[in-house]
Structure 1
Amino acid sequence: MSGNAKSVSIGPMPSITRRLLLWLSAVITVLWLVAAACGAIVMQTEFGEIFDSALQETGDRLLPLVVDDIMQRDPLQSPMQILSAINPDSDGYLIYQVRDGSGRVLMHSHAEAAAPLPAPLTPGFWQNDKYRIYTTTAVSNSIVVQVADSMVHRHLSALEAGLAMLLPVIGLVPICVIAAWLIIRRSLTPVEHFRQEISEKDHGNLAEIDLTPLPKELQPIGRSVNLLLNRLRSALDAEREFTANSAHELRTPIAGALAQTQLLLARLQEPDARARAIQVETSLQKLASLSEKLLQLSRAEAGIGSTDAPVDLVPVLDLVVEDFQRSGARSLVYDRPLEVSLPRAVSEDAFAIVVRNMIENATRHGRPDEPVTVAVKEDGTISVVNGAPVLSPEQLIMIRKRFQRASATTPGSGLGLSIIERLADQMSARFEILSPASHRKDGFEARLVI
């Protein structure tokens, strides 16, 4: 069971670029479609006027010719179809017929025009669902020329014109969307740069943000962020300086008081006096340990975790383990392959503080009858395992906090794991705590993956 706190899952946040692109695409598409629809309506009206003009001109030009021809024909002769010289069987959209005053068809242009057209024999335009008809008369309304245009032809012409306008729109909309995306992306580049600069700020990186690439609208925000970073940096520097100075100032008098107490304890013979002296010695040792942890915490807050050049961390680990083995306080098992090496761009001092706290935590809180195992793997994983009861997930989360321990009776200052996590973050490492330990039913394991 891992001791890492579960992170709250947050859905994808809406992007300004995505939102602008969607709105612009929708507006562009709607405007193009409205423009195409308006154009189609206007074009249909104009087409109607053009077709009506063609009907009227055809009828007026045809009328003198028909009158001259009719005057030379026998009135009792059957209706005559005027065939096209180009294609006699043509079914053109424009048809016409010549009628007398009674409505009898004298001439017609197509076979379908042999029957009288439904329009009245009065000059002007007339329309039904099938035809638009223009009527003109001569010789005291005794000769009537009617020219008809198919409504299907008109509707198809308007439809083809509308499609001719709509098809380019369908092709232009994606081009406009791509152009809008490129423009938005280029315009929001300073905003993205500003966002990335802010996201990189933490306790170890509080440098001011470069305001040069920011547009005028973001300059006040950038200046406010820099002022806030300056105040935060000053506060953190003051806190680190106070912690470091306090720890340094406390170490010497605490060490002196502890030495005097131990000397006094060696000379005391009375049981009550020795018991009190032992309590004073224990308190001074706890105070010395706390001052040491505060000094380590101040160094961790100062950002000493990383370096520019990689170094092999195995000799540092060997030295720390050997120091604990020489102290003889607890049995320590060191499992390290001979050929393993850990070249990392990590501060040796920070790495030593982390390993020392991991081993110290294991020796202090583990079962006295079980050894502490320090293992190194070739992938850069360092694990420290000790025997201990299984901790609950709530306890694993709690002990990661500063000055927090598994219980009130647990020894220690509650700063070791916080120091490890802070330095591990600076070393770009991952720190995990497991209870029970790997491949065990109990125990506690601290694991550092560099």
Structure 2
Amino acid sequence: MLLLPLLVVVPLAFAAIWLALRAGLAPLQRWRERLAARGARDLSPVSAGDLPSELAPIAATLDDVLCRLSAAFEAERSFAANAAHELRTPLAGAIAQAQRLQAETADPAARMRAAAMEAALKRLLRVSERLMQLARAEGARLRRDSAADLCPVVRILVEEQGRDAGDERIRLRLPEAAVLSDLDPDALAIILRNLIDNALRHGDPAKPVDVTLTSEGILRVSNDGLPIPPETLARLATRFTRAGSSAEGSGLGLAIVATIAERIGSRLHLTSPRPGATSGLTAEMMLPCASDCEVEKRDNRPSRHSVSSSAS
């Protein structure tokens, strides 16, 4: 007779305890889900919401750690940007002095040394410009509140690059319809200039560079040249990494593009050889389009050596 009440009361007690624990831990579960849904670069404070008072100090401590991390990263970005900006004026002056020395000296050896100085200073100037771009890619706002057509911006940028490289070096393909996007034009300029500059520097100088923007918002830049080994391709978009060609470069261009791609919810895909060819390199990324706010998942890549690169 004593066992019968226990058989009823014990399961009910366990069920009541389980329901009470579930209800009590539900705010903690929601707080964990908010943390898990954050991007890698989102260091803003986490709302404690309806966390129990016993757990509120843990949330406050985490917010304090996130604020300190954010301040440290911002100080690092500001230092890089400010240092690069301050270097531009003295570097430009030094380049002018080297050019003046070449024009005024009659000694061939001195002229060669001045030319070497000028080339080294120009490389340093390019690196400082890339550092400023990297600081912007990591910290600036890359999306606008309204959408605009990307085609005119791409056309102007390609024409500008074409004047420097030669009219026959770059071939542009644009869709007939407008490609609406909220991507900041300055961010698009950084992406396109780095991709084209990389393609021109490291591709076959006798072959053109193809720049394509599709109606779906896919930006694709391809060049011809020797195929890149898979192990090199896998780390090509990391900072200060080059493919081993003799062309000069800072090793930052693709890393900057990968950083911007990550921040706008996309990915930089590098494929070598080019699809349908036995040589060259294709860099491709999906730009945010107004007609489709979800960035297309491009996980099904061709069965060639292909990597999806994003800054870490």
Is the contact between residue 151 and residue 174 of structure 2 (CA under 8 Å) also seen in structure 1? no
Matched, 1:332 2:175: no
1:284 is matched with which residue?
Answer: 121
CA distance in 2, matches of 1:182, 1:345: 46
Aligned to 2:303: none
Contact map agreement 2:272 2:279 (CA 8 A) in 1: yes
Q: Give TM-score scaled by structure 1 length.
A: 0.58
Q: 2:188 aligns with which of 343, 351, 355?
A: 351
Residues in 1 aligned to 2:230 and 2:20: alpha-carbon distance in whole angstroms:
50
Q: 1:186 to 1:422 in 2, by over 3 A?
A: farther
CA-CA distance at 1:260 after TM superposition: 1.9
SS at match of 2:50: coil
Summarize the alignment of residues 339-378 of structure 1 with structure 2, pairs less than 5 Å apart.
Answer: 339=177, 341-378=178-215
| Structure 2 residue 288 is matched with structure 1 residue 441 | no
Contact 1:306–1:426 at 8 Å: present in 2 too? no
Cα deviation, residue 183, structure 1: 5.4
CA 1:410 to 1:195, structure 2 compared with 1: closer, same or farther past 3 Å?
A: farther
Q: Does 1:260 pair with 2:100?
A: no
Cα separation, 2, equivalents of 1:343 and 1:293: 27
Tell me what 1:7 maps to: none
Contact 1:204 1:302 in 2 (8 A): no
Distance in structure 2 (CA, Å) of the matches to 1:337 and 1:210? 44
**Alpha-carbon shift at residue 290 of structure 1 (Å):** 0.3
Deviation at 1:273, TM superposition (A): 1.1
Tell which deviates more after alignment, 323-332 or 391-400: 323-332
Larger deviation: 359-368 or 420-429? 420-429
Q: Which has the larger radius of gyration?
A: 1
Displacement of 1:192 in angstroms is 2.7
Provide the rounded CA distance (Å) in 1 between the counterparts of 2:247 and 2:163: 25
**Matching residue's letter, 2:171:** V
Whether 1:426 and 2:300 are equivalent positions in the alignment is no
Deviation of the 1:181 alpha carbon? 7.5
Alignment of 1:27-426 (within 5 A): 38-39=3-4, 185-202=22-39, 204-329=41-166, 331-339=169-177, 341-407=178-244, 409-426=246-263
Cα distance between partner residues in 1 of 2:21 and 2:270: 46
Q: Alpha-carbon deviation of 1:385? A: 0.3
Amino acid at match of 1:318: R
TM-score, reference length from structure 2: 0.82
Residue 291 of structure 1 deviates from its aligned partner by 0.4
180-189 vs 418-427, greater mean Cα deviation: 180-189
* SS in structure 2 at match of 1:188: helix
Return closer, same or farther for 1:181/1:309 CA change in 2, 3 Å cut-off: farther
CA RMSD in angstroms comes to: 2.8
AA aligned opposite 1:324: Q
- 2:201–2:247 CA contact under 8 A, matched in 1: no
- Quick one: distance in 1 between partners of 2:176 and 2:185? 20
Q: How far apart, CA to CA, are the structure 2 residues paired with 1:200 and 1:336? A: 36
1:85 corresponds to: none
C-alpha contact (below 8 Å) 1:305/1:424 kept by paired residues: no
**Conserved? CA contact 2:202–2:245, under 8 Å:** no
Q: Secondary structure at the match of 2:234?
A: helix
What amino acid is aligned across from residue 348 of structure 1 in structure 2?
P
Question: Given residue 276 of structure 1, which amino acid in structure 2 is its aligned partner?
Answer: R
In 1, the alpha carbon distance for the partners of 2:284 and 2:154 equals 14
Q: Deviations over 1:69-99 (max 9, x none)?
A: xxxxxxxxxxxxxxxxxxxxxxxxxxxxxxx
- Residue 410 of structure 1: CA displacement? 4.8
Q: Identity rate of aligned residues, in percent?
A: 37
Q: Structure 1: how far apart are the matches of 2:199 and 2:18?
A: 56
**1:188, 1:262 → 2: CA distance?**
71
Whether the aligned pair in 2 keeps the contact of 1:303 and 1:423 (CA below 8 Å) is no
SS of 2:135 mapped into structure 1: helix
Distance in 2 between residues matched to 1:347 and 1:284, nearest whole Å: 31
CA distance in 2, matches of 1:349, 1:181: 55
8 Å CA contact 1:303, 1:426 repeated in 2:
no
2:200 touches 2:209 (CA, 8 Å); kept in 1? yes
Shift of residue 182 of structure 1? 6.3
Q: Which is further off, 396-405 or 359-368?
A: 396-405
